[in-house]
Amino acid sequence: MKNQNQKIVIIGAGLCGSLLALRMAQRGYQVQLIEKRPDLRDVTQDAGRSINLALSDRGLKALRLAGVEQDALKLCIPMLGRMIHDKEGNTFMSNYSGRENEYINSISRPGLNMLLLDAAEAMSNVEIIFNKGCTKVNLENGIATFKDYNTKDEITYSGDIILGTDGAGSVVRKAMFNDRNFLFSFSQNWLTHGYKEITIPAAKDGGYRTEKGALHIWPRGEDMLIALPNLDGSFTVTLFAPYSNSDYCFDNLTTPEMVMAYFKTEYPDAVTLMPNLVEEFFGNPTGPLGTIKCSPWSSFGKVCLLGDSAHAIVPFYGQGMNASFEDVVVFDEILNKHESKNNESNDWKKIFYAYEMARKKDTDAIADLAVDNFHEMKEHTASPLFQQKRKLEMAFESQFPTEYFSKYSLVTFNEDITYHAAMTLGRAQDKAILNLLDDGKLTDDMAVKEKLALVKKETAEALHDDEVVGNL
Amino acid sequence: MKNQNQKIVIIGAGLCGSLLALRMAQRGYQVQLIEKRPDLRDVTQDAGRSINLALSDRGLKALRLAGVEQDALKLCIPMLGRMIHDKEGNTFMSNYSGRENEYINSISRPGLNMLLLDAAEAMSNVEIIFNKGCTKVNLENGIATFKDYNTKDEITYSGDIILGTDGAGSVVRKAMFNDRNFLFSFSQNWLTHGYKEITIPAAKDGGYRTEKGALHIWPRGEDMLIALPNLDGSFTVTLFAPYSNSDYCFDNLTTPEMVMAYFKTEYPDAVTLMPNLVEEFFGNPTGPLGTIKCSPWSSFGKVCLLGDSAHAIVPFYGQGMNASFEDVVVFDEILNKHESKNNESNDWKKIFYAYEMARKKDTDAIADLAVDNFHEMKEHTASPLFQQKRKLEMAFESQFPTEYFSKYSLVTFNEDITYHAAMTLGRAQDKAILNLLDDGKLTDDMAVKEKLALVKKETAEALHDDEVVGNL
């Protein structure tokens, strides 16, 4: 079989690592997938870890490539739009798209991870090893050292290459950061906000206590609550709030009374659905929200980063997992182009370089879009100008479904457009619409078709103006 | 004397640390200034270190505040503009401003540093300690540990506060990075280019071998040469070139023949002025070019970063030293506002926070502008559209000197406008002019006054359009 003489060590068996192991095994490589945690199929989950995620078209495309899309869809709960909750408990629905069949899915992180581990394990050329934490990596030789958490022994694994899918706190990336022999660009940027998870349990009859088919948002300017449904009838609620320097922040929400007073004032309709609010608030950890970028992603043609280890992003576009899965698609395309035709060893240096050249501007783009969306969700979803814009975009998308795609649609439902292209066009459209609205140029007497033509014209001009500066 | 009961330890006696020590002593504090290198007044300089720098209005304002501007001006050589050298050795001058008296100055780094050390040392409340390198910092207690390079002993210094002015490789900043108790945002971004210094020696009669009153540039698209004059008749030349992946790059300029062939092809008029080219090329180190940003700049109200340790930038706007000196001006203004009125200890936590709030957006702005200018200098100074823009701006500035200030002028000669404001207005102006030129809307038959009015109108519209998006 092709590639069977080449061995790949993958460090980290989370979502990205498991899918990557499966796909590399399908391409014929000998794969060792090594994970520091115990096998999550055998143990109960950590409390307070993000247990559901948004899966959308880019992620689905990757799962399809590996032949596991249909199985994954069985775990999905479609969310058709944002359900906005105001301070009086009134709600209104803002669909994600004006087109039919464009929605995102709530999916269980451990459920999907187990599915991927099962699929990888079913391959004869995959070995999965748990309870071994990477402690250091010899980048030039492709040798990684691990600590066995059961025996406490030190053990090394080596391969033709090592792929680091060990997440935002990546040990593989730290080895690159600490290697002074090449210039490693790196950034970690933390929001001033942290997050805390709380549960809305299922109703007594096993049903949902609020609308199932939506991503719920309680936007409050500086802070917000969101909720995603789970298959068992519960919702996972996440509070996003500043750490400090605010009326309500983690630094001053220190007593049960203060927490209850805060939630009753700001989220009156939610508080009645969360019987264990106080207990969970003080029992669950407060997590930080960070963006990590770096370059180069590979060193010495021996080691390469994929997924969160290369580009961790904040969760506000629902694209973290989707972007990591899309890495596997892009890496696979690069292998189609550059994999050795005969059964010889690949030129991995060239492959890793081509992969980063093809991919990095897109992961940078989704990182920036995710931070933008943080502000949009907590502040703008409640603003009249933003709501006018969304209403107009819904009209464009429903009446001219092949002619207009909002930034959200471009990013979320158009997996054949890159994140960078989606960002560039989406931002220009937003700027055009907001300024046309602000200037009063989109009047009620105009037909939707006429409005669309004007928005397209303004968008093209905005893009051209930026191009002139960029192409100087 | 006010503040005499408070002790400040300043780590790093480079340009920023020396000026800061002087100014803090003038405010009455007890200052210990600690430097890892030997006293540069006693020893000869390292070869290959950047030995001259551009000093302009923001830096001069800081030197004026500390009473040393006039002494510094004696070390200055005015540079009125960029002298562009093409591949045939033709030159043309592009002034920095259309106004009289707007120019930048070439100044010796060690010369200015010595001047500042002398002035600080003349204060009775400053103690300067050399040959002690900081190895670690206890952030919560304000205690720093040093290694004495003479005795090899370990020694600690502590103060009411510690100010870290220990440059781009700051040990103080690394202590913050490694402290997991607070979320430290950090980025280091390297250009794909490095730099190498070479000398144009003085002529035999001690005069200058090329025009003294200019910053010389040989822009070649991917690579470039620049030269700044020194008081002794020599010029310090800097080659900026890619490390790799280019026809001419440091990775393949590996033999004297290749270096000579490269310089003769690309810089024929310069090569004749550099008799020691090959020797210096292989004798001097290749330096990296990086941007460093971080936040927060202070921790526990005990330790604060200033200068390059907080915000190292690439040298292409000639603002690195000026920005670090301006830090001292802003810090001084914050002390004027928040220093304790009685002779009590200051609330340093509040002071550091106010300083960062006032300053960070400006150091972020100049960091981004400096990277922009890298591309402008190596590529655009030679482009027709850019030259048309500069010509127009020169006409605006000379005919309407109080009405128009180019981005370069705003950044370099308008020390009472913040870097961030200069960037915002300057970029909008550039975008307006480039697009008006590109659209053919600035025609030869128009009066300069008319052109200026059109540029101002377009600039205002560009600013407004961005504001609508930003203020959503």
d(CA B17, CA B116): 9
Under-50 pLDDT residues of chain A: 47-48
Q: Which of residues 177-216 of B touch A (CB under 8 A)?
A: 183-190
Residue B69: other Cβ atoms inside 10 A: 14
Considering the domain architecture, whether residues B19 and B155 belong to the same structural domain is answered as: yes
Residue A237: other Cβ atoms inside 10 A: 22
d(CA B453, CA B436): 12
pLDDT of res. B45: 55
d(CA A305, CA A356): 10
User: Do A465 and B188 make contact, defined as CB atoms within 8 angstroms?
Assistant: no
ipTM of predicted complex: 0.90
Residue A329: which of A59, A149, A29 has the closest Cα?
A59
CB-closest option in B183, B187, B434 to A469: B434
Considering the domain architecture, whether residues A281 and A178 belong to the same structural domain is answered as: no
- Residue partners of A263: CB distance under 8 A and separation at least 6: A270, A271, A274, A277
Domain assignment of residue B172, yes or no: yes
User: Do B434 and A187 make contact, defined as CB atoms within 8 angstroms?
Assistant: no
Which of A179, A186, A189 is the best residue to mutate to test the B interface, defined by the most B CB atoms within 10 Å of its own CB?
A189
Considering the domain architecture, whether residues A140 and A272 belong to the same structural domain is answered as: no
A383 CB neighbours in chain B (<8 A) are 472
B288 CB neighbours in chain A (<8 A) are 183
Residue type, A249: C
**Strand ranges across the sheet with A52-55:** A52-55, A104-108, A77-79
Residue B344: other Cβ atoms inside 10 A: 11
B265, B287, B309 — which closes off a domain? Answer: B287
DSSP assignment, residue A344? S
pLDDT of res. B383: 78
Which of A177, A249, A372, A435 is the best residue to mutate to test the B interface, defined by the most B CB atoms within 10 Å of its own CB?
A435
CB-closest option in B188, B431, B465 to A186: B188
How far apart are the CA of B109 and the nearest CA of chain A, in angstroms? 26
How far apart are the CA of A272 and the nearest CA of chain B, in angstroms? 32
Considering the domain architecture, whether residues A118 and A203 belong to the same structural domain is answered as: no
Considering the domain architecture, whether residues A60 and A122 belong to the same structural domain is answered as: yes
How far apart are the CA of B446 and the nearest CA of chain A, in angstroms? 22
pLDDT of res. A385: 87
Contact predicate A463/A425, CB 8 Å:
yes
pLDDT of res. A382: 67
User: Do A435 and B465 make contact, defined as CB atoms within 8 angstroms?
Assistant: yes
pLDDT of res. B53: 95
Domain assignment of residue B90, yes or no: no
Q: pLDDT by residue (tens digit) across A146-187?
A: 999 999 999 999 999 999 999 999 999 999 999 877 789 999
B430 touches chain A (CB under 8 A): yes
Considering the domain architecture, whether residues B44 and B127 belong to the same structural domain is answered as: yes
Contact predicate A433/A392, CB 8 Å:
yes
Residue B62: which of B422, B298, B324, B439 has the closest Cα?
B324
Q: Is B413 left (phi over 0), alpha (psi -120 to 50) or beta?
A: alpha
- Residue partners of B398: CB distance under 8 A and separation at least 6: B98, B99
Considering the domain architecture, whether residues A329 and A362 belong to the same structural domain is answered as: yes
d(CA A189, CA B431): 29
B461 touches chain A (CB under 8 A): no
| CA dihedral over A367, A372, A376, A379, signed as positive or negative | positive
A471 touches chain B (CB under 8 A): no
**Strand ranges across the sheet with A298-299:** A126-129, A30-34, A7-11, A161-164, A303-305, A298-299
Considering the domain architecture, whether residues B40 and B145 belong to the same structural domain is answered as: yes
pLDDT of res. A48: 42
CB-closest option in B185, B288, B472 to A189: B185
B261 touches chain A (CB under 8 A): no
d(CA B278, CA B196): 12
Q: Which of residues 98-157 of A touch B (CB under 8 A)?
A: none
d(CA A223, CA B54): 45
A428: closest chain B residue by CA? B469
B185: closest chain A residue by CA? A189
Residue A85: other Cβ atoms inside 10 A: 23
CB-closest option in A288, A385, A435 to B183: A288
Domain assignment of residue B1, yes or no: no
Contact predicate A144/A137, CB 8 Å:
yes
Per-position DSSP letters for B142-161, written without gaps between them: TEEEEEETTT--EEEEE-SE
A288, A309, A343 — which closes off a domain? Answer: A288
pLDDT of res. A406: 97
B287, B311, B331 — which closes off a domain? Answer: B287
B385 CB neighbours in chain A (<8 A) are 472
User: Do B472 and A185 make contact, defined as CB atoms within 8 angstroms?
Assistant: no
Q: pLDDT by residue (tens digit) across A235-246?
A: 999 999 999 988
Burial of A378 (0-12, 13-18, 19+ CB in 10 A): buried
d(CA A161, CA A10): 9
Contact predicate B129/B32, CB 8 Å:
yes
Domain assignment of residue B113, yes or no: yes
pLDDT by 10s per residue, chain B, length 472:
688 899 999 999 999 999 999 999 999 999 999 999 999 998 765 544 558 999 999 999 999 999 999 999 999 999 999 999 999 999 999 899 999 889 999 999 999 999 999 999 999 999 999 999 999 999 999 999 999 999 999 999 999 999 999 999 999 999 999 987 778 999 999 999 999 999 999 999 999 999 999 999 999 988 999 999 999 999 999 999 999 988 899 999 999 999 999 999 999 999 999 999 999 999 999 999 999 999 999 999 999 999 999 999 999 999 999 999 999 999 999 999 999 987 788 999 999 999 999 999 999 999 999 999 998 877 766 678 888 999 999 999 999 999 999 999 999 999 999 999 999 999 999 999 999 999 999 999 999 999 999 999 999 999 999 998 876 5
Which of A433, A439, A465, A467 is the best residue to mutate to test the B interface, defined by the most B CB atoms within 10 Å of its own CB?
A465
pLDDT of res. B46: 52
Q: Which run of H or of E encompasses B55?
A: strand B52-55
pLDDT of res. B387: 85
User: Do A185 and B185 make contact, defined as CB atoms within 8 angstroms?
Assistant: no
d(CA B154, CA B151): 9
d(CA B318, CA B373): 10
Residue A65: which of A301, A335, A298 has the closest Cα?
A335
How far apart are the CA of B432 and the nearest CA of chain A, in angstroms? 9
A462 CB neighbours in chain B (<8 A) are 465
User: Do A185 and B184 make contact, defined as CB atoms within 8 angstroms?
Assistant: no
B469 CB neighbours in chain A (<8 A) are 430-431, 434-435
Contact predicate B137/B303, CB 8 Å:
yes
Domains contained in chain B, number: 3
Domain of A324, CATH number, reads 3.50.50.60
Considering the domain architecture, whether residues B145 and B50 belong to the same structural domain is answered as: yes
d(CA B330, CA B341): 19
User: Do B186 and A188 make contact, defined as CB atoms within 8 angstroms?
Assistant: yes
What domain range includes position A466? 383-470
d(CA A145, CA A11): 11
Contact predicate A223/A240, CB 8 Å:
yes
CA–CA distances in Å: residue B208 to residues A78, B169, B269, B279: 75, 35, 15, 21
Domain assignment of residue A87, yes or no: no
A465 touches chain B (CB under 8 A): yes
Considering the domain architecture, whether residues B161 and B301 belong to the same structural domain is answered as: yes
Q: Is A249 left (phi over 0), alpha (psi -120 to 50) or beta?
A: beta
3-state secondary structure A121-187: HCCCCEEEECCEEEEEEECCCCEEEEEECCCCCEEEEECCEEEECCCCCCHHHHHHHHCCCCCCEEE
Place of tokens 């495309």: A61
Domain assignment of residue A94, yes or no: no
Residue A424: other Cβ atoms inside 10 A: 17
Considering the domain architecture, whether residues B37 and B155 belong to the same structural domain is answered as: yes
Residue A282: other Cβ atoms inside 10 A: 13
A384 touches chain B (CB under 8 A): no
A436: closest chain B residue by CA? B465
User: Do B431 and A383 make contact, defined as CB atoms within 8 angstroms?
Assistant: no
Tokens of B57: 């209005």
pLDDT of res. A50: 53
Considering the domain architecture, whether residues B330 and B412 belong to the same structural domain is answered as: no
CA–CA distances in Å: residue B459 to residues A152, B51, B404, B433, B471: 65, 39, 12, 8, 18
How far apart are the CA of B471 and the nearest CA of chain A, in angstroms? 10
Domain assignment of residue B95, yes or no: no
d(CA B428, CA A362): 26
A190: closest chain B residue by CA? B185
Burial track B98-121 (b if 16+ CB lie within 10 A, e otherwise): bbeebbbbbbbbbbbbbbbbebbb
Tokens of A334: 């690069």
The neighbouring-strand residues paired with B17 are none
Domain assignment of residue B100, yes or no: no
Output the CA angle A303-A304-A310, nearest 5 degrees: 140
